[in-house]
Structures are given as C-alpha cells and as structure tokens.
Structure 1
Amino acid sequence: MAHSAMLDPDLLQAFVLIADGATFTQAANRMGRTQSAISMQIKRLEEILGHPVLKRAKGGAVEVTEHGRFLLSRARTILALNEEVLSACHAPEITGTVRLGTPDDYALSYLPPILKRFAETHPAVQVDVVCSSSPELVEQLKTGALDLTLCSDGNQPRAWPITPLWRGPLSWITSTRHGQHRQNPLPLAMAHQECGWRSAAQTALEKAGIRHRIAYLSGTQAGTLAPVAAGLAVTVCALTVLPEGLRVVRPDEGLPPLPDFGIVMLKGRSPTQPLTDALADHIEARFSRDIAPPVAA
C-alpha cells in the first residue's frame, strides 16, 4: 500500500527544487537527470502520498498544492538530516576543543538542541560555551579568546564577515495572569544601557508618547523574565518559545510595534579548525530549519 512506502530522498530533492522555483528542465540539470525522469519522480512521489504536490497554474507556471506545502518544510528537514548523517559518517573523526560565545538568552532558547546534535555527530569534540553580552563577546572574539560567537546584529566590527542566522521582530512580553502592560507609567525589566533591545523598546515608547520607567535591571534574559512572570514589569525579547506564565503582547493591546532584530554568527580571525566550521554548520542548519519568530496569543 502507498502509505507503507519509503520517501526516497531523490524524489524529495526533485520536489524541493521545483517548489523553490526551478523548472523541470533546471531541476533535471541540477540532479543530472532528464526532464522526463524528473517528471516520473514527481509522479512517483504523488503516488506514494496519494495526493498531488504540484499543479499547473495559468500561463504554465507550476504551483505547490496544499498537500505540497505540508510536505515542503518536512522534505527540507528530511534532506538536511540525510545530508548531516552522511557527512558525519563519511568525514574523518575530529578531536579538540572549540570555544563558542553566545548571549545567555540565545543559550536558553536555541543552543540545547544544537549542542546535543553536535555532540552526537562529533563525540570527540569539546565545546566550551561562554555566555556574555554581544559587545563583550565580540571583544573576546577579536582578541582570539573565542573561535565562534553568536551576537545581536549591529554589534559586529565593520567589514567583519558575518553569517545571518535569523531576522524577525522583537516582541513585548507580559504575564499570562497579570496586566502590567496596561500600567502607566509602563514598568520595564531591561538589560544594561548598551543593550540594543532596551534602546529599541524605549525609542518605540517615546515615539508613541507612552510613559515608562526602568523597574528592573538584569544582565541576563532570565533575570528580565522573572519580574515579568511575577506581574511586576514587561520586557522585550525574540525567544521562539517562552517559559510558562509568559506571553507575547497582542498588537491590539496598546504597545507600539518594535523593529526587526537580527541574530548573526561571527568566526574568529584564526579559529580552531576544522572544529569551528563543523559547529558553525550545525548552528546555521538549526536556525534555517527550525527557528521561527514568536507569535502573539
């Protein structure tokens, strides 16, 4: 029966190429096959799934069907995992230590699955993680104390190569059980004066004419979230998954929109290799595959 068949990565690769805008001819050239072979692969995929994944639109363009959209993100994940397994198994084992810097809020929400998967594929590599503010991490990278760091976009030195990882709006965060986001003046839980999130929040409030005060200061994301959960302040963040008791403030609740915010990755001038590149690849793959902005309830 169709539902017991396996999804061949070649079928998924052909589908993803076409869904991403390649013609059947272009997909065939990239995969080293004929156009008719690609057409047969798509037909075979649809037979396995029991639904069409592509359809012809007006003007002969190819569109992804509803079932195709469901498949697309999952196909990317399957292909990425397939590539990861093959690369890990065929690559020679590497050993040593790589030094990774990250702001603590990224360590909380993004790093655990990255480090877990990296440890599975590179069991002989030790990762030393340093948590600090973006400006401090960049300084450590410049001095050679770090091989690799994540930081907020805008903190990198001029002309320093970066790898963009994520971009999306900052969000106002309040308690699920309290109404501190309606207080006047608005109580804020923020980080240090140089924090880009703090600057963005205060600028937005000032432009909107909303009175506010810094009620709590903390050098860590966990420290700013604690008074929010207690109903004592609001904060801003870009976490994709919030701790229990916290929620994103809805646009209709009176707080001004916040600007987009980016997370970037920087490598040192002389990083430990090939460890740094291997860890950087894991981080980039994780962000491109799984990280999405938070959604207001």
Structure 2
Amino acid sequence: MLAIPPGLDPDLLRSFVLIAEGGSFTRAAQAVGRTQSAVSMQIRRLEEALGQPLLLRGARGVEPTQHGLWLLERARRLLALHDEIHTTFRQPAVAGAVRLGSPDDYAIRWLPGILARFAASHPAVQVEVTCAPSNELVDRLAAGELDLTLLSEGNEPAGARVRWLWRGPLLWVGTEALARRRPLPLTLSSNGCTWRNAAIAALEGADLPWRMAYTAASLSGSLAVALAGLAITVAMPAPLPDGLRQLGAAEGLPPLPDFAIGLLRGPKTAVAEALAQHIEENFRLETSFEPRMRA
C-alpha cells in the first residue's frame, strides 16, 4: 500500500499538484486558500525535502521538471489515498443506493478507479451505473430515473447548474492514409452527439468533403471501425490502441474545438452528495481544467 514518507506533508504535495497541473502559483494559491508567497514557500520546502528542483517557469507558465513529472503521477495517487482515509474516518456514515449516469467513453476511462475508491470509503453505499449518450442521461435525470450524471458540454439543460470537471481538446484519430482520402470517411455517434456536430462543423467550415461511413453507439465502437482501417473518428486525449494515432493539420484536417465534461445533479440526498463530492475531488486529482493539457 502507498504511504506518505516521513517529512512529506500532504499539503505540500497538494499545492505542488495544483501548480504542476494548472501552470500557475496564483491559481494554486487561490485553490488552497493561501497567499502566493506561502505556496512558493511550500514548494521550496518540498524541493529541499526531496533534494531536486520540481518546477520551472517556461513559455506556457510553470511546468514540472523531469523529477516533477515523476512526482506528479505518484502525488496524485498519494493524495487520493490520503483523502480516502480522511473521508472514511471523519465523515458520518452514509448508506443507501445512488443512481449515476455516464456516457460510455467516460465510464471506461475514469469510473473504474473513482468507483473503486468510493466503494472503499463508503462500503454501505450501492452505486447503480447507467451508460447512455449524454442527451438520454439528461432526460433520465429530469424524469427522476437518475440521481446525478456525467455529461458532455452542449447537452446541459438551459439554466442548469453544472459542475464542470474537465476541459480539453477533441482530437482526430485514425490512420494517415484515411485522413487524406476525399471524401473523408467518418465513424461517429448518432445525431445529437456534440462530438459529431463539432467534427462535421469543422469539416464544412474548412470546405472538406466527407461521408458518414459508419455510425457507432460509443467511442469504443468508433475506434474499432478506425482500427479496421475503414474510417477516422474523434476522441478525447487518452492512450490510443496500437495502430491508431492522433491526426491534425499535417494530414490536412481542420482543428477541433475544446469540450468539457460536467456533473449534473438531481434532488439532493446524502448519498448523492457524497458520490458527487467524491467524483469532483477525483477529477481534480486526475485531470486539469486547463487548455494547456492538450499537450
């Protein structure tokens, strides 16, 4: 089991993670409720304890050194474990069932670790997960069939209070040979998908001919078609299967817009609030709400 070595204050690690992900001492200081000079002192203490420089100022702001990158991955895990222990022993016991919605793409990438940690810290809570497109999940939440749901930006109801968890770019994914074919063969989700709309708008804005070769219900289905060499698709930044690569201007493709992942809640219950808080905390540790993450 991971343990925080003597002398490594979790508060120092938390400030380091916020700076490394956000590229700014100022934003990190605001997040932890300290002055910028106090956060700078924390980083000096951490660097002195480890004997290595961890952060450098670069063209895009503050960036981690090689030692800092190594620490960043492990600091996230240490803080997640630290917060799990703290939550388990300090929060009142929560019991019951909670119904969570999530698009397939997010469920595969983020939910396994998040739900495993939640189960460890809230053993008396039963989580029921429904996977469907964002627009369907929003309708189910409104109908009272879900307690909270993840969703893609562009599907939120007008005036809804959405907690935005992550923002980053959409990417073209496929093979170089297919990317240069005209009309461009695409595999995307069905009508109403914000990713589909963004891809088509980008191609039409660049006056590139395209055709919908395949329609898939989820990203995994689109990636399977792309792996077969039949079409290209769009995806969020993530490790890709062997045989697929990120595509872009070098292959004559137009840029795609950023998009965000949000959390929409229904009526408040103790169980739903506990899961919502857990999801938000874990997204803060594992991801960054900064456009610089497109690197």
CA shift at 1:245, angstroms?
2.9
Which residue of 2 is the match for residue 134 of structure 1? 134
CA distance in 2, matches of 1:43, 1:130: 45
Which residue of 2 is the match for residue 6 of structure 1? 7
Which one of 172, 184, 187 corresponds to residue 186 of structure 1? 184
- Verify: 1:198 aligned to 2:196, yes or no: yes
CA distance in 1, matches of 2:153, 2:27: 32
Which residue of 2 is the match for residue 283 of structure 1? 279
CA shift at 1:283, angstroms?
1.5
CA shift at 1:234, angstroms?
0.3
CA distance in 2, matches of 1:246, 1:85: 39
Q: Secondary structure at the match of 1:21?
A: helix
CA shift at 1:13, angstroms?
6.0
CA shift at 1:68, angstroms?
8.7
- Verify: 1:227 aligned to 2:225, yes or no: yes
Tell me the matched-pair count.
276
Q: Sort the Cα spacing of 1:258 and 1:42 in 2 relative to 1 into closer, same or farther, 3 A.
A: closer
Which residue of 2 is the match for residue 245 of structure 1? 243
What's the RMSD between the two structures over aligned residues?
Answer: 3.6
Q: Structure 1, residues 235-282: CA drift from partner, whole Å, max 9, x if none?
A: 1121523233322114311110001111111001x24x2111221122
CA distance in 2, matches of 1:42, 1:180: 47
Q: Secondary structure at the match of 1:184?
A: coil
Q: Structure 1, residues 190-241: CA drift from partner, whole Å, max 9, x if none?
A: 1111111111111111111211100001222222111101000001121523
CA shift at 1:156, angstroms?
1.2
**Is contact 1:5–1:48 with CA below 8 Å preserved after alignment?**
no
Which residue of 1 is the match for residue 254 of structure 2? 256
**Is contact 1:189–1:215 with CA below 8 Å preserved after alignment?**
yes
CA distance in 1, matches of 2:218, 2:133: 8
AA at the equivalent of 2:131: C
**TM-score, structure 1 length as denominator?**
0.79
Identity of aligned residues (%): 48
**TM-score, structure 2 length as denominator?**
0.79
**Is contact 1:96–1:275 with CA below 8 Å preserved after alignment?**
yes
Which blocks of at least 5 consecutive residues in structure 2 are unaligned?
57-61
Which blocks of at least 5 consecutive residues in structure 1 are unaligned?
56-62
Which residue of 2 is the match for residue 58 of structure 1? none
Which residue of 1 is the match for residue 59 of structure 2? none
CA shift at 1:69, angstroms?
5.2
1:102-113 map, 5 Å: 102-113=102-113
Q: Sort the Cα spacing of 1:64 and 1:171 in 2 relative to 1 into closer, same or farther, 3 A.
A: closer
**Is contact 1:109–1:241 with CA below 8 Å preserved after alignment?**
no
Q: Secondary structure at the match of 1:179?
A: helix
Q: Sort the Cα spacing of 1:229 and 1:10 in 2 relative to 1 into closer, same or farther, 3 A.
A: closer
Which residue of 1 is the match for residue 25 of structure 2? 20
CA shift at 1:172, angstroms?
0.5
CA distance in 2, matches of 1:162, 1:91: 25
**Is contact 1:51–1:67 with CA below 8 Å preserved after alignment?**
no
Q: Sort the Cα spacing of 1:287 and 1:243 in 2 relative to 1 into closer, same or farther, 3 A.
A: farther
Question: Which structure has the larger Rg?
Answer: 1
Q: Structure 1, residues 83-102: CA drift from partner, whole Å, max 9, x if none?
A: 33212222232221110001
AA at the equivalent of 1:291: T
Q: Sort the Cα spacing of 1:173 and 1:42 in 2 relative to 1 into closer, same or farther, 3 A.
A: closer
**Is contact 1:102–1:130 with CA below 8 Å preserved after alignment?**
yes
CA shift at 1:54, angstroms?
8.1
CA shift at 1:51, angstroms?
3.8
